Amino acid sequence: MSNVAYPSRISAIFYLGLEGLGGIDLITDEDENGIDGPIEFSGATPDLGDFTIRVVDGDQNRGLTSGLHSETFAHRLGKSHLVGLRANPGQVWTAKDFIMQSILKHAGPIAEQYPQADRVPDASFILQLPDETVSASNLFAVQKFFDGEFQFDVFFDSASSHKKLDSATIDLSIPALVSSFDDRFESRFPTPDSFNVSNYGALKSFSKAITSSLLGGIGYFYGTSIINKGFAFEWDQDDDYDYDGDGTQDTEQGATFTEPLALFTATPSRSFFPRGFYWDEGFHLLHIGQWDNDLSLEILRDWINLIDENGWVAREQILGDEARSRVPPEFQTQVPTFA
């Protein structure tokens, strides 16, 4: 079947949140029926200074305006919708939950007006953000609806910058960036003339993809970890294990939180394993070091800083609630008696 027979109807949600010192505000005038045109936010933090964030649609976008009961919802169609919420400290990372709750709260009363399942309005007409903001919001979401291919740009402009970004600048910069990547890849990972491969193009494409994925998976992680210094299996109970080196057997039992830790690291998988993993990082750095040696040394330095006074470092760096949400509870605790 062609794409014409099954057109894409897409809801895209961009969100931004801020924790700690500073704030962020919606500059664009609110409208209970949605917003036409760009949406702008302003904010400030001690580290970033003053800044603005703009969400701008592409010229060729087609909004969703057709569907069952479109005439009833015409005043809200073809527009962007938003919500501004107040998230408690440490909870901005749960933005998906806040956003889903807002959409369902908005959709519930509308859906109740259409008890017949075959007469419910098109999903894009009711599963919308409510166009409401609360005072001192620190979490904002912008929802857009598209029919088919789309583009929208999110611009971050620092007040210290002398020139604002725009779509034309990005369109011109992307080809230059791709060309720069290709040139750097060729210089860092040359293929020997003696290398026998039947499909050189496929090899090069695959190699660039895994390099990009590895570099794109580098991130900064911060939060507490869970360790259990006194854990031992029954068959280890007779062993005199002196982890602290104070001449006595460690008897402390139970998992405890560490002080907050920071780690700049690559990850085994951005989608499935988004955390630092000691066993993998050596292999990661072999590749990253070829691409950018200084970058690999920055990562190595952070891992070395996590080594404690006894020479131990947790093999999985599950730092903070967000990281722990991706790990089954039975695997969250790190044990110094293990490698």
In angstroms, the CA 188 to CA 179 distance is: 14
pLDDT at 245: 57
Residue 306 CB neighbour total at 10 angstroms: 19
CA atoms within 13 A on the CB side of 175: 4
Q: Contact, 327 vs 288, CB < 8 A?
A: no
What are the boundaries of each domain within the chain? 9-165, 214-331
Query: Which pLDDT score is estimated for 6?
Result: 64
CB atoms under 10 Å from CB of 231, counted, come to 19
For the chain, the distance separating the N- and C-terminal CA atoms, rounded to the nearest angstrom, is: 53
What are the distances in angstroms from CA 270 to CA 125, 298, 326, 329?
33, 19, 11, 20
Nearest in space to 222 (alpha carbons), one of 51, 92, 48: 92
The domain defined by 9-165 carries CATH number 2.70.98.110: yes
Lookup: tokens for 87: 């998230």
Q: What is the CA radius of gyration of the chain?
A: 26
Burial call 74-102: b when 16+ CB within 10 Å, e when fewer: eebbebbbbbbbebeeebbbbbeebbeeb
Per-residue pLDDT 10s for the chain (339 aa) are 445 566 688 999 999 999 889 999 999 999 999 999 999 999 999 999 999 999 999 989 998 888 889 899 999 999 999 999 999 988 999 999 999 999 999 999 999 999 887 788 999 999 999 999 999 999 999 999 999 899 999 999 999 988 888 999 899 999 999 999 999 999 999 888 788 878 888 989 999 999 999 999 999 999 999 998 876 655 555 555 555 555 545 545 678 999 999 999 999 988 888 899 998 999 999 999 999 999 999 999 999 999 988 889 999 999 999 999 999 998 999 988 775
Q: What is the predicted pLDDT for the residue at 255?
A: 86
Structure tokens at 68: 């069952």
| Residue 146: closest CA among 209, 27, 81, 61 | 61
d(CA 63, CA 78): 5
Coil, strand or helix at 111: helix
| Continuous segment of H or E residues that includes residue 201 | helix 200-216
Residue 2 confidence (pLDDT):
45
| pLDDT for the residue 244 | 57
Please say whether the beta carbons of 141 and 15 come within 8 A. Answer: yes
153: helix, coil or strand? Answer: strand
pTM of the predicted protein model: 0.82
CA 88 to chain centre: 19
Extract the runs of DSSP E, i.e. beta strands, from 18-124. Answer: 23-26, 39-45, 49-57, 81-85
